[in-house]
Amino acid sequence: MEKLRPGSLSQMLGVFFGILLLMGIASCNPSPEKFVKNSNSGGALGTSYSIIYISDRELDYQTEIDSVFKVVNQSLSTYIDTSDISRINKGETNVVVDGMFREVFELSKEIYSKTDGYFDPTVGIMVNAWGFGPGEKVVMDSVRVDSLMQFVGLEKVDITPENLIVKQYPDTYLDFNAIAKGYAIDRLAKMMDQKGIEDYLLEVGGELVGKGINRIKQKPWVVGIDDPQAEMGRSLKILMQLEDKALASSGNYRKFRVDSVTGKKYVHTIDPKTGYTKNASTLGVTVLANSCAVADAYATSFMAMDLEKAKEILQDQNELEGYVIYIGEEGQTMEYMTPGFKKLVLP
């Protein structure tokens, strides 16, 4: 998924398998006068955001929201030349990273291990080479793939107690875009918690965190998941409740590149085991977790691995619930849903 990228609002429509907030669901119950719906929306991290928070009075946290986006970008955005991660990728060895960088790095290491390397932020060099990142696209063949893959593997990168990044190979390229957007939402949620807000729904580029309920309607927050096979516009596949959970999605249906010479289609998911783009049967994945960074990372890794392995991890990791849309052996559209996810789906 493309994340942390400055861009026009038109780019937001390119995010596959996004989540459509159902803010206008009709309700017969009048809103209690003591509750006020506060909202902020706009563009950030190369996509759109929409934030709703309920309180007993009118509030406006736009300044605080902008501050969260700014510090996350400065630490983790590969699309900003002066960010900490960009300086590290350019070869600077004296960059002292902040606590956010360390937190994302250590969480990435943990998920890298739990997914057997399918979640790998060092695959960024391959993402760039295939033409899906901020770096230079190159002509890819088996020789080029093999030469670049020597720099891939998060075990080749470490962080010192002094918050310095140490790389085994200087050309190893770190890219946290598959976890940083979710992490930014977690930071927004933490800010809301510190402000004493108990009911909110935060959405950035289709990733969500919901806490409490919609006090205006006295109902749970309800969100919709896009149908990845909708040919025109956007159509909802399912509706579900989101309470005290984070949700993230990933997919290939709308995110691909066609070679202008050969006409070959390349999807944006790169298999970190092989270095090649992944043309798998999985159309899209949605993951529920306790934090959006975790949901974001696992959704990305599930797109890179085979469906059976994704199912195995979903069954083993108690924190995770998941929903997968895929193409069956006979070409039919199939679905897999964990029991915990299914409980939240509305009729």
Cβ burial 258-288 (10 Å sphere, 16+ → b, else e): eeeeeeeebbbbbbbbebebbebebbbbbbb
The 10s digit of each residue's pLDDT in 239-292 is 999 999 999 998 765 444 444 444 444 445 788 888 887 666 788 899 999 999
345 beta partners: 240
Q: How far apart are alpha carbons 268 and 249 in whole angstroms? A: 14
Burial status of residue 198 (CB atoms within 10 A of its CB: 0-12, 13-18, 19 or more): middle
295-331 burial string, b = 16+ CB within 10 Å, else e? bbbbbbbbbbbebeebeebbeebeebbbbbbbeeeee
**109-118, 165-174, 213-222, 325-334 — which is least confidently predicted?**
325-334
Does the pLDDT of residue 64 top 60, yes or no? yes
Token pair of 173 as six digits: 């390229």
Helices and strands counted in the chain (H then E): 9, 15
* Residue 242 near residue 277, CB atoms below 8 Å: no
The whole-number average pLDDT for the span 58-73 is: 97
What are 28's two structure tokens? Answer: 């017969």
67 φψ region: left (φ > 0), alpha (ψ -120 to 50), beta (else) = alpha
Q: What is the pLDDT of residues 3-37, one digit of tens each?
A: 455 443 333 333 333 444 444 433 444 444 689 99
Helix (H) or strand (E) holding 209: strand 207-211
Question: Do the beta carbons of residue 249 and residue 205 sit within 8 Å?
Answer: no
Query: pLDDT for 151-165, tens place per residue?
Result: 999 999 999 999 999
Compute the radius of gyration of the chain from its Cα atoms: 20
User: What is the rounded average pLDDT of the residues 134-145?
Assistant: 69
Looking at this protein, which amino acid is placed at residue 116?
D
* pTM recorded for the entire structure: 0.84
Q: pLDDT tens for residues 288-313? A: 999 999 999 999 999 989 899 999 99
Query: Which of 161, 207, 150 lies closest to 19 in space, CA to CA?
Result: 207
Class of domain 9-342: alpha beta
